[in-house]
Each structure stands twice: as structure tokens, then as C-alpha cells.
Structure 1
Amino acid sequence: MENTDKSIFIATDHAGFNLKEEIKNKLKELGYLLEDLTPNQPEPADDYPLVAQKLVSEILKNNGRGILLCGSGNGICMAANKIKGIRAALGYNTQAAKWARTDEDANVLCLAGAVLSPEYATTITKFFLDTPFSNEERYKRRIEELTKLDK
């Protein structure tokens, strides 16, 4: 399935590099168009806040969505959520990824590079990319309330 409605960006620190490569290659095989913002080699001295900042700036500039990875998924998710306009969600399973889209209209999926298998991480990512926002009033209201918390 080709998903071209929005730009999709992917980036990782060193701890998620191998999983990022697996996800990226599988999604490209399935017809997704991705832009990888990560160097071609893992950089052991990199810092996930800077990786997150690079990806979210592209998302905001292009009205896109993103996939971020670090070892646990937590640190990079925290970093992404510091940026106004970003709603990053930790994708620990398919249901969490689906709800992140239907209920919160999340624009960034964060994954644990040290924990998830390539197959399951790809499945979680597909749920995230293929699930639209529900547009239900209660969720739109909650997102508006969440947006008011942006500083």
C-alpha cells in the first residue's frame, strides 16, 4: 500500500539503528515513501534529543508524520513531545499505535529499538501509518485542550 498523503520521516539514535533499517526496508517494499534523516552508519556518541529535534522540525515544516527510535523508545518520545505541535506516542503494541492515531491524532510514533522484533515493529508502524484520526468531537476537544498546554 502506498501512503503518499503526507510526508513520512524516520530517524534514530545509535540504539535503534538496526531496527530502523529493517522497518525502513520493509515499508519501502510495501510501497511507503519514507525519508530517512539518520546518517548511513550508527553514531555511538549521538544524543536522542538532537535526533528527535531534527525529525520533528521536518514534520512541522512538511505537515508530515514520523517514526523515531531509541533503545527504549521513551527518551526520544519525551524529547519529541517537548516541541510545540508534536504529539508523539510510544508504540509498544498495535493497539497503542492505533489509538494514538484514532484518539490523539499522533504525528510521531516512537519505538524501542532494543526490545521490538523487526516484524512486530513493522506491524506496529503499519498500524500507525494506516490508521486515520477518528475526527470524533470528544477527541478533537481533547486535542485542543492538549494544544493549550504547548509552551
Structure 2
Amino acid sequence: MKIALGSDHAGFKLKEKIKELLLSKGHEVIDFGTNSTESTHYPLFAKEVAKAIQDGRAELGILICGSGIGMSITANKFPGVRAALCLNEYMARMSRMHNNANVLCLGERVVGDDLALSIVEAWLSASFEGGRHEKRIKLIEEIEKGLC
């Protein structure tokens, strides 16, 4: 699976660990940066990952900043992107099963490395249930069309 990654300086170290995990599981990773802990601006990286989801270059995306909040807010500005800020494995599974989230957002300063990697694994192992949830996703898409 092709997975787009992006982080700002506050999420760089965790991004690198997640990238290692993804590669070890056989996923193809598109890393949009950042590539250091030098201060930068999270919206730039959220934009690149969201655009990769929109145009089909990646199937899923993972964004990391200090809290995960800024990445989530930015990514959700893009039609077709359903970014979920997840703090535990349950939230990660539900974001995929019920909301068909295609972008996972994490906060390096909020969750430790082990928990973050566990969240990623839970998120990737879950799949959309469809059914009654499909109707809700369609409503989100209708709202997007009306606003964009």
C-alpha cells in the first residue's frame, strides 16, 4: 500500500520511526518531509499529504506534529480527506471502521513512541465497515460539495 507521510519539526522523530515500521511491513512510503528538527510550518506538510490522497498518489496518509491538532485541522480542509486525530488504538480502529479515515494524525508530544506505533498498526489493520456508515460518509461528501 502507498502511504504518504508528513511532519513538522515537532513530529520529525516520530515520523522517522513510523516510516521504519511501514517499510518493515512492506508498504511503499512517500515522505513529504520535513527532514529535520529545524522549525518549520505544519500546514505545508499537511497540504502535500492531503493532495497526495486527493489525486491518488497515496491510498492513506499519516501526519505528525507536536499535538496532531494543526495537522488534522489543515488536512480536513481538503475535499475527500478524512483526517482523524487518534490518541489510542480504539480511536484509530473506529476512525477507519466507521469514518473511513484516510489520514491518521498523531501528536509526538502527546503519545509516546510505543503507543504511536501501536496506533498506526491498529489503524492500518482496520477497514471500513460500510453499511450504515456509508450513508454518513456520503453526507460528508454532500456537505463538501455544497461548500467547495
Q: Please list every run of 5 or more consecutive structure 1 residues that lacks an aligned counterpart in the other structure.
A: none
Matches within 5 A, 1:1-150: 4=1, 7-44=2-39, 46-62=40-56, 64-136=59-131, 138-150=132-144
Q: Deviations over 1:37-78 (max 9, x none)?
A: 10432330x211111111111111125110001110011100
CA contact (8 A) 1:27 1:122 kept: no
Between the aligned partners of 2:107 and 2:72, the Cα distance in structure 1 is 10
Aligned length: 144
Q: Please list every run of 5 or more consecutive structure 2 residues that lacks an aligned counterpart in the other structure.
A: none
RMSD across aligned C-alpha pairs, in angstroms? 1.3
Report the CA distance between 1:95 and its aligned residue: 0.5
Classify the secondary structure of the residue corresponding to 1:52: helix
- The letter of the residue matching 1:33 is E
What is the TM-score when the length of structure 2 is the normalising length? Answer: 0.91
Report the CA distance between 1:30 and its aligned residue: 2.8
| Runs ≥4 residues deviating over 6 A | none
What is the TM-score when the length of structure 1 is the normalising length? Answer: 0.90
- The letter of the residue matching 2:16 is E
Between the aligned partners of 1:39 and 1:93, the Cα distance in structure 2 is 24
Q: Percent identity?
A: 38
